């Protein structure tokens, strides 16, 4: 019996000793990061560097999971507490994430982060700011769209107008493509025509359902019905470029490497073309898009999560991300580097930027515009539709866009 007690005592004591030893050790922190499938390798490298750089202060373990930036909010909002501590997302989801309270305010080195991205009035900072407070770290300033084209098919004058592109594509027996049933791209026509879309933090306001709107819709229909036009989703665009059926298209930098590989020397990119609105050439507008890195409001380690987010979006990280993925930096110094300046895609974005607006829209914008675009794709709305029919469809869309979010 005594022996047993002795053994027990030793056992308990050894625990106590281990516990004491632990106290002297440095803090252990585990963070999870969600980054784009395309950006996994670089994120891993940067994370390892971050671990190494801070090893005197903290013992970090960083797990990285793949999560497309375009649907990040869906996954985060399905379970905020279960989501990653640090995640990247496209700025169209900023309002949605803010509404749900998922974003931690940037509270370490805030001024430096703002300055590095061009100050409080720069687009990337404004896209991550609400009520004067910064809630995310800008990672790229390239999440907009522009025109890709094959120089062997089009001249520089051809790509100035939509009509020019379509005529050349038809002559070449190839395809010009854009995704109409997607509010993100559809916006370019309406905004270009001078119609407005705004968001006051709760509901959207749009004036697309008027005579000009009908004319815009008719212009889109004319494009959609052109034999050289095909409505294609992202994946079909890159597939078409790769197999040579697509010779021009409106898309974003994430497909720049596909176009460069397929077209080689003939790869070119420029601002969006003009389209014929009521006989007048009208410049297509676009959304200026940013990719942001956010910190989860419910994280257990806000300090290290913020530090990591800052590191993942630092100047060096952005330059390396450009080298690896051709993603355009939001960091001003990084954007100035000669490599970045030489990229056709980035140059095209810069050209387009004068016609681009920040994506400040509420969640109810996307579904109605997708459906409206799809009505053109499935020819519910066609050149045989009357102005009244088109107006009715526009009114239904605007009603949806302006609908108050479900309480």
Partner 1 sequence: MNNMKTNTLLQKPASKNKMMTSLKDFGLALKHGDLFVKLSALVLGMGFFKRKQYAKGIIYVFIQIIFTLFAVFVGIPSMSKISTLGTVEYEVIYDPNLRDNVVNNYDNSFLILLYSLFAILFTVVFILFWFNNIKHQYRIQKIVEDGHRLPTFKEEIKTYLDEKFHVSLLTLPILGIVIFTIIPLIFMFLIAFTNYDENHQPPIKLFTWVGFKNFSLLFDFGRSSQAFGYAFGIIIIWTLIWAFFATFLNYFGGIWLAMYINSKTVKFKKVWRTIFVLTIAIPQFVSLLLIRYFFSDYGIMNTIAQNAGLLQFFKDIGWVKPGLAYIPFLSGPVWTRVMLILINCWVGFPYVMLIATGVLLNIPKDLYESAEIDGANKYQQFKKITMPYMLFVTAPYLITSFIHNMNNFNVIYLLTNNRPTSDLKLAAVDARDVDLLVTWLFRLTSEQANFKMASAVGVILFLISVVFTLLAFNYVIRGNKEDNFQ
Kindly list the residues in this chain that would bind partner 1 in the complex (CB under 8 A): 71, 74-75, 77-78, 80-81, 96, 99-102, 104-105, 107-108, 181-182, 225, 227, 230-233, 236, 297-299, 302-303, 364, 367-368, 370-375, 377-380, 382-383, 396-397, 400, 403, 405-407
Scanning the structure block, which residue is given the tokens 């960091």? 331
Write a three-state SS string for the chain: CHHHHHHHHHHHHHHHHHHHHHHHCCEEEEEEEEECHHHHHHHHHHHHHHHHHCCCCEEEEEEEEECCHHHHHHHHHHCCCCCCCEEEEEHHHHHHHHHCCCECCCCCCHHHHHHHCCCCCCHHHHCCEECCEECCEEEECCCCCEEEEECCCCCCCHHHEHHHHHHHHHHHCCEEEECCCCHHHHHHHHHHCCCCEEECCCCEEECCCCHHHHHHHHHHHHHHHCCCEEECCHHHHHHHHHHCCEEEEEECHHHHHHHHHHHHHHEEEECCCEEEECCEEEECCEEECCEEEEEECCCCCHHHHHHHHHHHCCHHHHHHHHHHHCCCECCHHHHHCHHHHHCHHHHHHHHHHCCEEECCCCHHHHHHHHHHHHHHHCCCCCCCCCHHHHHHHHHHHHHHHHCCCCC
Least distance (Å) between residue 325 CB and partner 1: 23
Nearer to partner 1, 158 or 301 (CB): 301
CB of 379 to partner 1, least distance (A): 4
Determine contact, residues 97/89, Cβ cutoff 8 Å: yes
What would the two tokens of residue 369 be?
A: 């515009």
- Name the pairing type of β-strands 291-295 and 197-199: unpaired
State the nearest-atom distance from the C-beta of 234 to partner 1, in Å. Answer: 10
Pick 305 or 349: Cβ nearer partner 1: 305
Q: How many CA atoms lie within 13 A of 37 on its CB side?
A: 4
- To the nearest 10 degrees (0 to 180), the angle between helices 234-243 and 256-263 is 10
Report which of 78, 90, 81 is spatially closest to residue 297, judged by C-alpha positions: 81
Closer residue to partner 1, CB minimum distance, 263 or 304: 304
Nearer to partner 1, 225 or 339 (CB): 225
CB of residue 180 vs partner 1: minimum separation in angstroms? 10
Q: Minimum distance from CB of 336 to partner 1 (Å)?
A: 31
Nearer to partner 1, 63 or 225 (CB): 225
**124 vs 179, beta carbon nearer partner 1:** 179
The residue (of 119 and 227) whose beta carbon lies closer to partner 1 is 227
Smallest distance from partner 1 to CB 72, Å: 12
- Comparing CB distances to partner 1, the nearer of 175 and 349 is 175
Minimum CB–partner distance for residue 347 and partner 1 (Å): 30
CB nearer to partner 1: pick between 138 and 373: 373
CB of 104 to partner 1, least distance (A): 7
**Residue 182 C-beta: closest distance to partner 1, Å:** 8
Minimum CB distance to partner 1 smaller for 173 or for 383: 383
Residue 154 dihedral angles phi and psi, to the nearest 5°: -115, 145
Q: At closest approach, how far in Å is the CB of 404 from partner 1?
A: 8
């Amino acid at each position: 019996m005594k022996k047993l007690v002795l053994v027990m005592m030793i056992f308990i004591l050894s625990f106590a000793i281990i516990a004491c030893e632990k106290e002297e050790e440095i803090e252990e922190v585990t963070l999870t990061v969600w980054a784009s499938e395309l950006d996994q390798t670089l994120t891993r490298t940067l994370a390892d560097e971050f671990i190494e750089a801070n090893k005197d202060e903290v013992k970090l373990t960083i797990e990285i999971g793949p999560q497309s930036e375009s649907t990040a909010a869906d996954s985060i909002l399905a379970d905020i507490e279960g989501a990653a501590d640090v995640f990247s997302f496209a700025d169209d989801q900023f309002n949605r994430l803010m509404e749900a309270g998922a974003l931690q305010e940037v509270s370490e080195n805030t001024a430096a982060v703002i300055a590095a991205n061009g100050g409080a009035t720069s687009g990337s900072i404004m896209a991550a700011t609400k009520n004067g407070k910064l809630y995310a770290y800008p990672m790229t300033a390239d999440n907009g769209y522009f025109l890709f084209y094959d120089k062997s098919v089009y001249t520089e004058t051809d790509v100035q107008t939509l009509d020019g592109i379509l005529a050349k594509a038809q002559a070449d027996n190839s395809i010009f493509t854009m995704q109409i049933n997607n509010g993100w791209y559809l916006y370019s026509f309406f905004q270009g025509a001078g119609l407005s879309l705004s968001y006051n933090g709760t509901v959207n306001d749009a004036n697309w359902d008027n005579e000009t709107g009908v004319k815009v819709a008719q212009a889109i229909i004319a494009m959609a019905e052109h034999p050289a036009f095909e409505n294609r989703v992202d994946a079909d665009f890159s597939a078409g470029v790769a197999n040579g059926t697509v010779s021009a298209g409106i898309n974003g930098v994430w497909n720049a490497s596909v176009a460069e590989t397929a077209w080689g020397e003939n790869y070119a990119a420029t601002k969006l073309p003009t389209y014929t609105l009521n006989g007048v050439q009208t410049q297509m507008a676009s959304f200026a898009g940013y990719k942001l890195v956010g910190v989860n409001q419910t994280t257990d380690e806000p300090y290290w999560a913020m530090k990591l987010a800052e590191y993942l979006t630092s100047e060096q990280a952005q330059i390396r991300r450009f080298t690896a993925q051709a993603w355009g930096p939001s960091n001003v110094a990084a954007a100035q580097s000669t490599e970045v300046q030489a990229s056709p895609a980035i140059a095209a974005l810069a050209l387009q930027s004068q016609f681009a607006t920040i994506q400040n829209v509420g969640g109810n914008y996307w579904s109605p515009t997708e459906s409206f675009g799809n009505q053109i794709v499935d020819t519910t709305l066609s050149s045989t539709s009357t102005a009244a029919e088109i107006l009715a469809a526009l009114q239904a869309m605007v009603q949806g866009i302006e609908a108050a979010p479900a309480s």
